[in-house]
């Protein structure tokens, strides 16, 4: 199983959008500059995210993208499913025909892993990541002092 760059960048871009789209729509070139993600790559990702109903485009001056729902209604599994073609640990795409038309010996193991990952990612929302980010930003900087 691989979580590709598409999935990682989609989550990063959605978190950036959640952080900055509360006052106004966010332009993709702004996300591109902040997160060092190619603008053309973001355009492709956001087309998929829009089709999945996770973001909405705002036209005109001050246009860009906003979340289609609140951050606590969008989970990470939804973002990855929208961006990735497939996130699957089985070799057969879940069809159980991995070995000459039959399930391989470890098919159930990989199916269970798929469910575990999906359950985990479904339980984390953009709001959870925002809260985590805000907590990290609020942490005081600790200076190390040497005592002689």
Give the chain's mean pLDDT. Answer: 87
Whole-angstrom Cα distance, residue 72 to residue 127? 5
Mean pLDDT on 12-37: 94
- Per-residue model confidence as pLDDT tens digits over 66-124: 999 999 999 999 999 999 877 787 777 778 887 788 888 888 998 899 899 999 999 99
* Fold classified for 5-85+125-133: Arc Repressor Mutant, subunit A (1.10.10)
Band (137; pLDDT cuts 50, 70, 90) = low
Band (148; pLDDT cuts 50, 70, 90) = very low
Name residues whose C-beta falls within 8 Å of residue 79's C-beta, 6 or more positions apart in sequence: 7, 10, 11, 14, 49, 54, 126
**For the chain, domain boundaries:** 5-85+125-133
Does pLDDT of 3 surpass 50? yes
Residue ranges of alpha helices (H) inside 28-98 are 28-35, 39-51, 76-83
Q: What percent of the chain lies above the pLDDT cut of 70?
A: 90
Cβ proximity of 26 and 57 under 8 Å? no
Total number of residues shown for the chain: 148
């Amino acid at each position: 199983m691989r979580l590709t760059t598409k999935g990682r960048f989609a989550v990063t871009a959605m978190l950036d959008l959640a952080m900055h789209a509360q006052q106004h729509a966010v332009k993709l070139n702004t996300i591109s500059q902040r997160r060092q993600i190619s603008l053309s790559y973001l355009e492709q990702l956001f087309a998929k995210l829009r089709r999945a109903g996770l973001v909405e485009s705002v036209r005109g001056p001050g246009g860009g993208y906003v979340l289609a729902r609140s951050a606590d209604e969008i989970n990470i599994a939804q973002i990855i499913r929208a961006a990735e073609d497939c996130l699957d640990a089985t070799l057969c795409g879940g069809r159980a025909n991995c070995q000459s038309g039959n399930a391989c010996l470890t098919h159930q193991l990989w199916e269970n892993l798929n469910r575990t990952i999906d359950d985990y990612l479904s339980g984390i929302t953009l709001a959870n990541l925002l809260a985590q980010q805000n907590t990290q930003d609020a942490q005081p900087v600790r200076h190390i002092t040497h005592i002689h």
